[in-house]
Amino acid sequence: MIADIHIRGFDDADTDAVLALWRDAFPEYLSADKPHREPRRSIANKVAMRDGLFFVAEREQTIVGTVMAGYDGHRGWVYSLAVGRAMRRRGVASALLHHAECALAERGCLKLNLQVLTQSRDALAFYTAHGYAADDVVSLGKRLPLAPGAAPSTSL
């Protein structure tokens, strides 16, 4: 990892910078055919959990990467590992992933899961290089209707 990268916990004041980073790192978030992607709501929901598992990487006081993790007492998960395109292949993602893994291990997590879009070959190669392998499972999903009284989130 480059020496001038600092990983710390997310702060509410980071929200706009994180959203900008995600626009750069995840252009598919801007696609109208991905209505389940509500990054501002994802951030608010994660912050509300108060689990201390949302991290940002900074370089010269600029957020250059993010990772969210979760642990339910059974399995750990990694979400939203992102690095801005200008900072890729410099060890930032590896450092963020390691940081999340350590935070989960400290909580007693023994198994970590993550999901990668099948067409994301670079991401698959990255995780494979870090010891991840495909489990013999199928990931299923279901979109739920917006609950009465729940407000739709704003987009990126």
Tens of pLDDT, residues 112-121: 999 998 888 9
Whole-number pLDDT of residue 41: 87
d(CA 20, CA 25): 9
CB 82 within 8 A of CB 65: yes
Q: Is the pLDDT of residue 1 over 60?
A: no
pTM (two decimals)? 0.89
The structure tokens 């893994």 sit at 101
CB 76 within 8 A of CB 111: yes
Q: Is the pLDDT of residue 15 over 70?
A: yes
HEC sequence for 8-54: EECCHHHHHHHHHHHHHHCHHHHCCCCCCCCHHHHHHHHHHHCCCCE
**CATH number of the domain that residue 74 is part of:** 3.40.630.30
Answer yes or no: is 49 within a domain: yes
Q: Is the pLDDT of residue 149 over 90?
A: no
Whole-number pLDDT of residue 27: 78
Coil/strand/helix, residue 61 = coil
The domain total for the chain is 1
Q: Is the pLDDT of residue 9 over 90?
A: yes
Q: Is the pLDDT of residue 154 over 60?
A: no
State the helix-helix crossing angle for 39-49 and 15-25, rounded to 10 degrees.
130
Whole-number pLDDT of residue 6: 96
Coil/strand/helix, residue 147 = coil
Answer yes or no: is 90 within a domain: yes
Q: Is the pLDDT of residue 147 over 90?
A: no
Tokens of 121: 């070959």
Whole-number pLDDT of residue 17: 97
Answer yes or no: is 143 within a domain: no
N residues, the chain: 156
Q: Which residue in 137, 154, 116 sits closest to 39, CA to CA?
A: 154
The maximal CA–CA distance of the chain, rounded, in angstroms, is 49
Could you give the strand order of the β-sheet that contains 54-59, starting from the edge strand earlier in sequence? Answer: 5-9, 54-59, 62-71, 76-83, 112-113
Answer yes or no: is 107 within a domain: yes
- Which residues face 83 on adjacent strands? 65
Strand 112-113 to 54-59 pairing: unpaired
Q: What is the mean pLDDT of residues 88-114?
A: 96
Answer yes or no: is 32 within a domain: yes
Answer yes or no: is 136 within a domain: no
Answer yes or no: is 146 within a domain: no
Range of the domain at 40: 5-129
Tokens of 6: 């600092």
Residue 39 vs residue 55, higher pLDDT: 55
Q: Is the pLDDT of residue 155 over 70?
A: no
Whole-number pLDDT of residue 64: 97
